[in-house]
Amino acid sequence: MTFASLVLATALSLAGALPLGSPAPRATVKMKSAVDGKAVSIADVTGKAGTLVVFTCDHCPFARGWEARIVALADDYSQKGVGVILINANDPAQHEEDGLAGMQARAKSAGMQVPYVVDDTSNVARAFGATVTPEAFLFDRRGKLVYHGTVDDNMRQPDQVQHHYLKDALDAVVAGKPPALPETKSLGCSIKYRS
């Protein structure tokens, strides 16, 4: 890593989460997808109704617990004009299953149809200020961040969910309205940034 990139990485990691109203940072960075091997950027998947960026990974029990719901939302809202991209920014040196081969296996077993890409410097995640997996950033049709947070309020028991935070935000974006609850949180695994 060069001194300049170290300084950039440090600055980005200290920047905090992307503020509401911001456009997607580093949107033109091409990242390799584990689904079909193509290089895809956030700009490439931008939808007419909005764009959903989810930082997730393979090894984390929270990411795995929400995985089926994330994939279902991705499939459903892709049909409604929302562009979706799933990003793995973890360093596979810390968890081997977060490498491309593990991601390919995960994408296949989960039946992913949307891009599941490798942030191979972790700098896209740093630019978003993402710290946890899974963590969602939803942009409206004008490209402004309108929702940041978690999927719902019950990772372990899907049938016990009371608040479908991300689905509600997606419904609002598709309807051209601001989400009622723009920021939520959940416990989760820390993103294992590449150094």
Partner 1 sequence: MTRRASLLLAACLALGAGTPVRATEPGPTVSVGTLADVLAAARAPGARAVLVNVWATWCDPCREELPELIRFYRDRRAAGLRLVLVSADDPQDRDKVAAVLAAAGLPAGTPSFVKEGDDMKFINGLDRRWGGALPASFLFDGRGHERHWWGGPVTYRALDRAVAPLLPNPNETGRSRP
Provide the binding-site residues for partner 1, judged by CB under 8 A: 17, 61, 94-95, 131-132, 135, 150, 153, 156, 184-191
Closest CA to 57 of 18, 9, 19, 106: 106
The least distance separating partner 1 from the CB of residue 165, rounded to whole angstroms, comes to 9
| Residue 129 structure tokens | 């200020």
CB-nearer residue toward partner 1: 5 or 190: 190
If the CB atoms of residues 104 and 131 are measured against partner 1, the closer one turns out to be: 131
Question: In the complex with partner 1, which residue's Cβ is closer, 7 or 181?
Answer: 181
Closest CA to 170 of 4, 54, 51: 51
- Among candidates 92, 122, 94, which has minimal Cα distance to 106? 92
Report, in Å, the least distance between residue 8 CB and partner 1. Answer: 20
Minimal distance in Å, beta carbon 135 to partner 1? 8
> Residues 171, 118: contact at Cβ < 8 Å?
no
> Minimum CB separation from partner 1 for residue 43, in Å?
26
What is the spatial distance between Cα 124 and Cα 110, in angstroms, rounded to a whole number? 24
